[in-house]
């Protein structure tokens, strides 16, 4: 089964022009000093407050803004601007200003040029406000004529683009098993809590007696045919229970189970989108199922998920998947395009330095109690590292009409923008 549907909805950030949380001033980091950042009253900020301030300043600056990111070490908002006038506005607002050569419009145009002239399998690119460039990655399969094509495109774009090689091969991170000999809970244990116990007992949907049961959380293993993936987030669709996972997983099978033997059916694919985007919505077959709005943390228990947010560069995130368990990292780029080969090109992804491996596909990317993304694919593994890309969860919610983490029937909306204690967080 290869169910591919069109995708028109993209992640839509909500501009919240609220007042930032103001905490004691801090000295600029050495990183900022080396880059010539301008500051007078830059403030120590939480990621939440930085997001609100970044959104407000970007709206005020208009075309004079060139992206922003959160410096987790210094706990400051760094805003790229094109001139001294913009820098003064940022400083007056409490951010750290960087005068940069490339506007947001120029970077978006560069990304479109790459799409038109250098759509080479094994490549990826995303906008990186830290370098004020479009960051291009070429995996180990890009050689010969393909590498020459990519080099020409990058050279033509000059200072708008930076390029580096990835040691691995870009691929979606679904896993495969045969009959009852699946891989669940037997993945890598490097740099994290390791594979989770996904034996399929009392996981959710219906057991063999036909009674509704609960317990399938984000990061838990799900099985469809010969494919093993990971559940992303449990959601609600017009009062009916469902869950999100990767679209390339949903393309592989119509029916998904909590166990690799296929005795505990969870639900049926309602929407599956891959390529272009990478998400699918699976509705629970038993409407009485009450799955938790939570992510599995292995031995550390679970993390409640109460809302969905848009990613921002510098945001510290955590991933849970059925092969490698729980791993942490940072968002490194936004609006990423990844060419997995065979015509499978996915746009609008979140780029991170979080590791993942086959079987982790569809698993949850989150920040505290906020859902951020669904694992798509990447390169490397949890021993050697690499890059991993995620489908923004806000785009999946908007496209499917689903909601996430609605307590007591409340509807938090499809794209709240907060991480932590605050209600709102936007991308840049």
**Token pair recorded at residue 355:** 């590791």
Q: Report the C-alpha dihedral over residues 101, 106, 110, 115, rounded to 10 degrees.
A: 160
> What value, to the nearest 5°, has the Cα angle with vertex 88 and ends 85 and 91?
155
Of the candidates 199, 210, 207, the residue with the CA atom closest to the CA atom of residue 260: 199
Catalytic residues: 248, 278, 361
Three-class SS of residue 339? strand
Instruction: Kindly tell me the burial class for residue 384, based on how many C-beta atoms sit within 10 Å of its own C-beta (0-12, 13-18, 19 or more).
Output: exposed
**How far is it, in rounded angstroms, from Cα 283 to Cα 129?**
38
Q: Rounded to 5 degrees, what angle do the CA atoms 219, 222, 224 make?
A: 150
Return the closest-CA partner of residue 171 out of 140, 134, 144: 140
Count the Cβ atoms, other than its own, within 10 Å of residue 299.
10
Could you tell me how far CA 346 lies from the centroid of its own chain?
13
CA distance 115 to 58: 26
Name the phi and psi angles at 97, rounded to 5: -100, 140
Quote the strand ranges of 258-380, DSSP E: 265-273, 279-284, 294-296, 302-304, 307-308, 316-321, 325-339, 345-352, 364-367, 370-378
């Amino acid at each position: 089964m290869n169910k591919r549907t069109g995708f028109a909805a993209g992640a839509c950030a909500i501009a919240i022009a609220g007042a930032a949380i103001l905490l004691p001033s801090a000295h600029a980091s050495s990183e900022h000093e080396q880059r010539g950042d301008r500051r007078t009253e830059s403030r120590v900020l939480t990621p939440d407050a930085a997001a609100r301030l970044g959104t407000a300043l970007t709206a005020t600056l208009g075309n004079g803004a060139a992206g922003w990111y959160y410096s987790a070490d210094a706990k400051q908002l760094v805003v790229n601007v094109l001139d001294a006038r913009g820098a003064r506005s940022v400083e007056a607002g409490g951010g750290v200003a960087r005068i940069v050569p490339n506007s947001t419009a120029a970077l978006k145009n560069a990304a479109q040029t790459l799409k038109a002239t250098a759509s080479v399998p094994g490549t990826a690119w995303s906008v990186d406000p830290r370098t004020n460039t479009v960051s291009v990655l070429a995996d180990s399969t890009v050689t010969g004529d393909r590498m020459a094509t990519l080099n020409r495109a990058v050279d033509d774009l000059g200072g708008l683009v930076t390029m580096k090689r990835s040691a691995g091969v870009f691929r979606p991170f679904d896993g495969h098993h045969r009959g009852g000999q699946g891989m669940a809970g037997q993945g890598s244990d490097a740099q994290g809590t390791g594979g989770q116990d996904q034996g399929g007992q009392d996981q959710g949907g219906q057991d063999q007696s036909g009674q509704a049961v609960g317990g399938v959380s984000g990061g838990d293993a799900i099985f469809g045919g010969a494919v093993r993936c990971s559940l992303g987030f449990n959601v609600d669709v017009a009062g009916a229970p469902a869950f999100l996972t990767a679209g390339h997983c949903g393309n592989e099978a119509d029916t998904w189970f909590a166990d690799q033997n296929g005795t505990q059916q969870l639900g049926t694919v309602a929407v599956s989108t891959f390529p272009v985007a990478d998400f699918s919505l699976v509705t629970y077959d038993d409407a009485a199922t009450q799955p938790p709005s939570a992510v599995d943390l292995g031995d550390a228990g679970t993390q409640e998920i109460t809302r969905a947010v848009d990613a921002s560069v510098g945001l510290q995130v955590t991933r849970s998947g059925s092969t490698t368990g729980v791993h942490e990292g940072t968002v490194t780029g936004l609006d990423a395009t990844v060419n997995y080969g065979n015509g499978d090109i996915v746009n609008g992804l979140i780029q991170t330095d979080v590791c993942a491996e086959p079987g982790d596909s569809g698993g949850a990317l989150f920040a505290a109690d906020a859902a951020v993304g669904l694992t798509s694919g990447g390169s490397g593994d949890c021993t050697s590292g690499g890059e991993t890309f995620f489908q923004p969860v806000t785009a999946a919610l908007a496209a499917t009409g689903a909601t996430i983490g609605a307590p007591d029937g409340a509807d938090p909306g499809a794209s709240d923008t907060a991480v932590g204690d605050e209600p709102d967080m936007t991308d840049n």
